[in-house]
Amino acid sequence: MKRIIFYIALVATGLCMPKAYAQFTPVKFEDPLPTAPEERKAELERRLQVKLDQFEKVKQNIIADEKYDLKKAVEKITAQLEEGSITPEQAQALKEEAAKKAALNIDNKVAIVDNQIALAKRDEVYDFNANQGTYFEMGFGNAYDDNGSFLLGFNYNAKNRKKKYDKRTTSDVVLASGFNNTIGDGKTIGDSYRFGKSGFAEIGIALKTRLFKDSYKVRLVYGLSYHFNTLSPKNNKYFVNNDGTTVLEEFPNKLKQSQMRFDNLVVPVHFEFGPSKKREYKDYFRYDTTNMLKVGIGGFAGINTGATQFLKYKAGGERFATRVRTDFNATKFVYGVSGYIGLGSISLYAKYDLNPVFTNSAAKDHNISLALRLDL
């Protein structure tokens, strides 16, 4: 009798309940625990209460979800009754069956949450989800929750991989952008090329390895990058391969743009020095360099993958834009020294190419660059 009353109550309340979409994801805390005993105890109690509050919300969502599903089932049964496809007795039986199913679902799901609560009170976590393993995502603005979060690019989630206790090597995406020019043969920056129009950019992957077992003061930073060096000649000039020698000549028309870009695939290697803070967690530790000073000293070596000249000009009342990728005698093997100094992920970066820009040219120029670097 009590069960029948409960089923009827479920039907009645479910008719006005919206779908709540219960989410069962145990909260995780990444911040380290305080070292002082009293503060540590207070923080543990706070975290436990946060977990318990979350579990209570999950239980409420479970009930709301089942009531919503029951409401939809009753609406479907009522529609069948009105169409005459089932009798009133059959409709009543179907409604009671749907209510019984909802009640059992609530009992079973709430029991799971109650067991999670018992585990949480003993400082244990068991997060079982058969459908969540390692996965790879690709998206371009795809929304994945109701809070406005979206995926832009690639995401690899190693869900089932256990967190490594001591991770000596980490990886970063390196981005840099700034100014480029040349020095050499008695010439200084800005003599041949416009300072503001000649630029430098870098994009690459950097691996960072701690060199000492119990210290993060010295790291080896290495990886693979693309360097883009551009030079914009002054005085309406452009680059010409004149019988195997690269020279600057005056262009016959007024140039709106004259720029040469050198694309270099390089392997940068730096020794990085700086303080860090060791952060210890329950089953792993990491060294944190957020907002801490760092200094990198090293160099790079690689190959030139091409040189491209861009020209924009007017001739005969018409506008022209040309892009020429040919042999300008750019040095094939490139190498140099570089360094950076900064705080956290932002650094001021400088490099000097020890190789000349061209293997055979009127002047032995060497690229020199100054940029803002980001390690993401």
The residues near 2 (Cβ < 8 Å, ≥ 6 apart) are none
Note whether 4 and 96 are within 8 A (CB).
yes
- On whether both 215 and 349 belong to a single domain, the answer is yes
> For residue 144, what are the CA distances in angstroms to 61, 160, 335?
19, 20, 44
239 part of a folded domain: yes
> Considering the domain boundaries, does residue 321 fall inside one?
yes
User: Regarding beta strands 199-212 and 255-273, do their DSSP bridges make them parallel or antiparallel, or are they unpaired?
Assistant: unpaired
Q: Which residues have C-beta within 8 Å of that of residue 104, sequence separation ≥ 6?
A: none
Asked, for residue 126, whether it belongs to a domain, the answer is no
DSSP, collapsed to helix, strand or coil, labels residue 149 as: coil
Name residues whose C-beta falls within 8 Å of residue 134's C-beta, 6 or more positions apart in sequence. Answer: 156, 157, 158, 159, 160, 161
10 Å CB burial of residue 38 (0-12, 13-18, 19+) is exposed
Each residue's pLDDT tens digit, 111-167: 888 888 888 788 776 665 544 555 556 555 555 544 555 565 566 666 556 778 899
- Widest CA span in the chain: 103
- Structural domain count, the chain: 2
Boundary residue ending a domain (106, 121, 136): 121
Q: Is the pLDDT of residue 340 over 80?
A: yes
Instruction: State the average pLDDT over residues 195-210.
Output: 94
Which amino acid, one-letter code, is at 204?
Answer: G
CA 281, distance to chain mean position in Å, is: 23
* Rounded average pLDDT over 335-346: 96
Looking at residue 6, what is its pLDDT?
A: 46
Cα–Cα distance for residue pair 211/268, rounded to 1 Å: 17
Whether the Cβ atoms of residue 343 and residue 375 lie closer than 8 Å to each other: no
- pLDDT of 21 reads 43
Average pLDDT on 326-341 reads 94
- Report the pLDDT value the prediction gives residue 51, as an integer from 0 to 100: 82
Do 98 and 217 belong together in one domain?
no
Query: Is the domain of 177 the same as that of 320?
Result: yes
Give the separation between CA 55 and CA 32, rounded to whole angstroms. 23
Place of tokens 């007017």: 314
Predicted confidence at residue 341, as pLDDT, reads 98
Please indicate, yes or no, whether residues 115 and 251 belong to a single structural domain of this protein: no
CA distance 372 to 340: 9
The answer to whether position 102 is within a domain reads yes
Q: Which of 60, 94, 121 is the last residue of a domain?
A: 121
Task: State whether 205 and 349 are in the same domain.
Answer: yes
- Residue 70, in any domain of the structure: yes
From the list 59, 56, 72, 97, the residue with the least C-alpha distance to 18 is 72
Residue 132, domain member (yes or no):
no
Q: What percent of the chain clears pLDDT 70, i.e. is strictly above it?
A: 81
pLDDT digits (tens, 9 = 90+) for 48-63: 888 888 888 888 888 8
- Indicate if 189 and 329 belong to the same structural domain: yes
**DSSP assignment, residue 197?**
T
Q: What is the mean pLDDT of residues 323-327?
A: 87
Question: Do 175 and 299 fall into the same domain?
Answer: yes
By C-alpha distance, which of 236, 179, 229, 259 is closest to 331? 229
Q: Are residues 248 and 367 in the same domain?
A: yes
298-312: pLDDT as tens digits? 999 999 999 999 999
**Given 63, 92, 121, which residue is the final one in a domain?**
121
Range of the domain at 37: 2-121
Do residues 80 and 209 share a domain?
no
Burial of 99 (0-12, 13-18, 19+ CB in 10 A): buried
Tens-digit pLDDT profile for residues 256-278: 999 999 999 999 999 999 999 98
Residue 176 within a domain:
yes
Q: What is the SS3 assignment for 135? A: strand
Q: Does residue 139 form part of some domain?
A: no
3-state helix, strand, coil in the chain (%, to 5): 25, 45, 30
Q: Are residues 298 and 225 in the same domain?
A: yes
Alpha carbon of 287 to those of 29, 344, 355: distances in Å?
17, 12, 37
Same domain, 231 and 351: yes
Closest CA to 259 of 280, 234, 286: 234
Stretch 328-343: mean pLDDT: 95
244 and 116 within one domain? no
